[in-house]
Amino acid sequence: MASPAVCFIGVGALDRAEALSAVGPNAPVTDLGGAALVNMPVGEAVKDAMAAARADGLDAAYLPHGARPVRLLLADMDSTVIGQECLDELADKAGHGEAVKAITEQAMRGELNFEEALRDRVATLKDLPASVVDEVLAERITLDPGVQILTATLRRLGAKTVLVSGGFTVFTGPIAARAGFDAHFSNRLEIEDDRFTGEVLPPILGREAKKERLMAELSALGLSTADALCVGDGANDLAMVTAVPHGVAYHAKPVVAEAAPVRIDHHDLSALLYLQGIARSDWADPR
């Protein structure tokens, strides 16, 4: 097992790592190009250095099992792999955008029951033409700037990448393909006569189902939780991101940022490669 490490990400990361190393004393430092690792156990010096780095706009993570490439990635979709909430965008097309957005925010902060909030929001889509999905994908959905680099690099290293979402298959299918994921799992919207009925088909994929998918993938691949990285931003992601050492709260709601082993607040998803000790010079070109 790799030794514990601290990862600094951002401008001045190497200087931060070298300064912390001197407290070590002289703990090993690795320059990742845009980030740096220092191998040392957690202590007050580490906590202080991480807090100072975050305050200055860097990301900092303590990795108790060290930095090594994972074999499995599970990622949330909305506000993680993409910059939007797909259901909010659909509801806006149906004329209920602001009301649904407010419910989404509450649900992602963990203030509402996810399944009930999902059904309430989906009900606003009743009679909306299903063809609107193509418009939303083309006009409103943007990928995280680093996600294609992340998936391409992990694919080259032999890892499996899975998009797992409380959203819907009409979005996860095309977004998974665009972002470079191997598989996707999500909920299904009921469609009749090319229009949404306002119903979501059971079973609903929520917080616990995401963790179940993690465990199923690990079992199928013969891996342990130490071999996986899970990333998400909302309360619906809590079960999976707290189930693995490399559980990442990504630009997350406070309830997730406080519970997850790792948080990324300032950089894009390519930063997850640094957490695995993968130097920028070893990143894959997704083109």
| Active-site residue, 233 included | no
High-pLDDT (> 70) share of the chain, %:
99
Backbone angles phi, psi at 62, to 5 degrees: -100, 130
pLDDT surpassing 80 at residue 82: yes
Sketch the domain layout of the chain as residue ranges.
Answer: 1-67, 68-83+143-287
Question: Which pTM value belongs to this model?
Answer: 0.95
Out of 76, 88, 144, 237, which one is annotated catalytic?
A: 76
285: annotated active-site residue: no
**CATH level 2 (architecture), domain 68-83+143-287:** 3-Layer(aba) Sandwich (3.40)
Closest CA to 9 of 45, 27, 40, 33: 33
User: Where is pLDDT greater, at 97 or 62?
Assistant: 62
Residue 108 has pLDDT above 90, yes or no: no
Reply yes or no on domain 1-67 having CATH 3.30.720.
Answer: no
pLDDT score, position 97 = 86
- Give yes or no for a contact between 249 and 257, defined as CB atoms under 8 angstroms apart: yes
Give the Cα separation of 182 and 94 in Å (integer): 32
Task: Please tell me the distance from the alpha carbon of residue 188 to that of residue 207, in angstroms, as a whole number.
Answer: 16
In sequence order, the 6+-apart residues with CB closer than 8 A to the CB of 198 are 122, 123, 124, 125, 126, 127, 190
The catalytic residue among 15, 56, 59, 78 is 78
